[in-house]
Amino acid sequence: MLRFGAGLVVALVVLPGPIALAQAHKPTEKAQTGSTPPLPERKAANTTPAAPPAPDVWSPAEIEAAKASCTAALKGLNAVVSYEAPIKEGDCGNPAPIRLSKLDNVTFTPAALINCGMLAPLHTWISKDLQPLAARQLRGRLTSIQVMSDYSCRTAFGRVGKKLSQHAYVDALDIRGFVTDKGAQVSVLSDWGITNRDIAAAKAREEKLARAGADKAGQQQAATATAAPDKAPGASASLASGLLKPTRIDGGDVVTAILPGGLRRQQVAARLGGPLDNKASDAKPAVKGSQKAAAAFGVVAPNAAPPEGAHARFLREAHTAACRIFGTTLGPEANEMHRNHFHVDMAERKIKKICD
């Protein structure tokens, strides 16, 4: 013990050296042995492959039942059909689709891919309605129904959500026209005439022009289209007697309207990807020119009164009759997508049938 200054006492402590520290932390042989876990047993690899997913096909029982229903549906009908292979694309398809070539001596051009549930309503429509209408309005016998489309695995146009169209169940037909033995060719696009949408559009356009007056652009368009208003009988700038009839320009359907001030506007008729209509309208062309010139006029304000004529009456009465028979009947009044064809299907409706 050493004494420093005023009684400060310092105690010396002997610390262990490096050898002692190493010995203190050295594990025992027993601890080393116990701290190493045993290796797990190695399992043999599973060589059995996973089972493949179930095939997306109709069962033999479903196909047999569907064909039995077809046999019953065809009984007593004058029909030419052929069975197609079962169609199964997810929720789309049918176990026993048929290709309908002829029904009641009316040819389907091209042959229509449908299910057998469509046979009875088509037979009723043809025999009870279309043939009497053809005799009365067209002075002939219906010989052909022109098919635009049939089976398609898709949702309905304009429908919100993922509910499938009846086309997806081989349960719908899109019809673009009709032909008689006298050579009459009736086109939904060319012969239906204006729709309520057209009337509303024409009225809105006329009101806008009335408020704004004839603007400079309108005057230039009028000068380009014609030097003077059409003075032919029946032509008028008023909505009540506005003129718009389909015409053929360079092989395509074009509609023309006369607006206030003698302004003419044209628009290429809407299509849904269907074939071109080879029939010119009964109406005389209102304006001559090319499709390129017609497109330059912009959006048309269509005519404001249903057209006269046997073809238009046939189509409108045929549509009305279809509404009594099919679950869904859509035509030019439904929307722009159906301006050029009738859609008919046998969808089951809980409340009432759809007729537009």
Q: Is residue 99 helix, strand or coil?
A: strand
DSSP 164: B
Supply the pTM of this predicted model. Answer: 0.62
In the chain, where are the structural domains located? 61-189+312-355, 194-305
Q: Is residue 229 helix, strand or coil?
A: coil
Of 97-101, 124-128, 318-322, 346-350, minimum mean pLDDT range:
346-350
pLDDT for position 269: 41
Token pair listed for 310: 């046997």
The Cα 311–Cα 140 span in angstroms is: 12
Task: Between 242 and 135, name the one with better pLDDT.
Answer: 135
**312 has pLDDT over 50:** yes
What tens digit of pLDDT does each residue of 9-28 get?
444 444 455 544 445 455 54
Q: Is the dihedral of CA 243, 244, 247, 249 positive or negative?
A: positive
> What Cα–Cα distance (Å) separates residue 5 from each residue in 9, 11, 155, 277?
9, 15, 103, 124
What tens digit of pLDDT does each residue of 316-355 get?
999 999 999 999 999 999 999 999 999 999 998 777 789 9
Tokens 């209408």, residue? 133
The Cα 270–Cα 95 span in angstroms is: 35
pLDDT for position 53: 59
Task: Between 223 and 182, name the one with better pLDDT.
Answer: 182
Q: Where are the alpha helices (DSSP H) in the chain?
A: 18-25, 29-34, 60-74, 119-124, 131-137, 188-191, 196-212, 216-225, 291-295, 310-325
The Cα 65–Cα 60 span in angstroms is: 9
Kindly state the average pLDDT of the residues 216-233: 55
**272 has pLDDT over 70:** no
**277 has pLDDT over 50:** no
The Cα 148–Cα 108 span in angstroms is: 10
The Cα 114–Cα 172 span in angstroms is: 7
Number of other residues whose CB lies within 10 A of the CB of residue 225: 20
The Cα 235–Cα 245 span in angstroms is: 11
Question: Which residue in 293, 297, 308, 228 sits closest to 257, CA to CA?
Answer: 297
What tens digit of pLDDT does each residue of 105-119 get?
999 999 999 999 999
CA dihedral 309→330→197→337, nearest 10 degrees, is: -110
Of 198-207, 251-260, 266-275, 290-299, minimum mean pLDDT range:
290-299
Kindly state the average pLDDT of the residues 64-80: 96
pLDDT for position 136: 96
Task: Compute the radius of gyration of the chain from its Cα atoms.
Answer: 39
The Cα 241–Cα 236 span in angstroms is: 6
- Vertex 270: Cα angle to 268 and 272 (nearest 5): 140
What tens digit of pLDDT does each residue of 184-206 get?
999 999 999 888 888 888 888 88
Kindly state the average pLDDT of the residues 273-287: 34
Contact 253, 189 (CB under 8 A): yes
Task: Between 36 and 60, name the one with better pLDDT.
Answer: 60
The Cα 341–Cα 187 span in angstroms is: 8
pLDDT for position 1: 43
pLDDT for position 42: 61
The Cα 266–Cα 264 span in angstroms is: 7
Kindly state the average pLDDT of the residues 237-245: 39
Confidence of residue 224 (pLDDT cuts 50, 70, 90): low
pLDDT for position 78: 97
Task: Between 285 and 174, name the one with better pLDDT.
Answer: 174
pLDDT for position 54: 57
pLDDT for position 291: 31
pLDDT for position 295: 29
Give percent of the chain above pLDDT 70: 56
pLDDT for position 74: 97
Kindly state the average pLDDT of the residues 261-283: 40
pLDDT for position 304: 35
Secondary structure percentages of the chain, helix, strand, coil, to 5: 30, 20, 45
The Cα 62–Cα 57 span in angstroms is: 10
CA 125 from centre of chain: 24
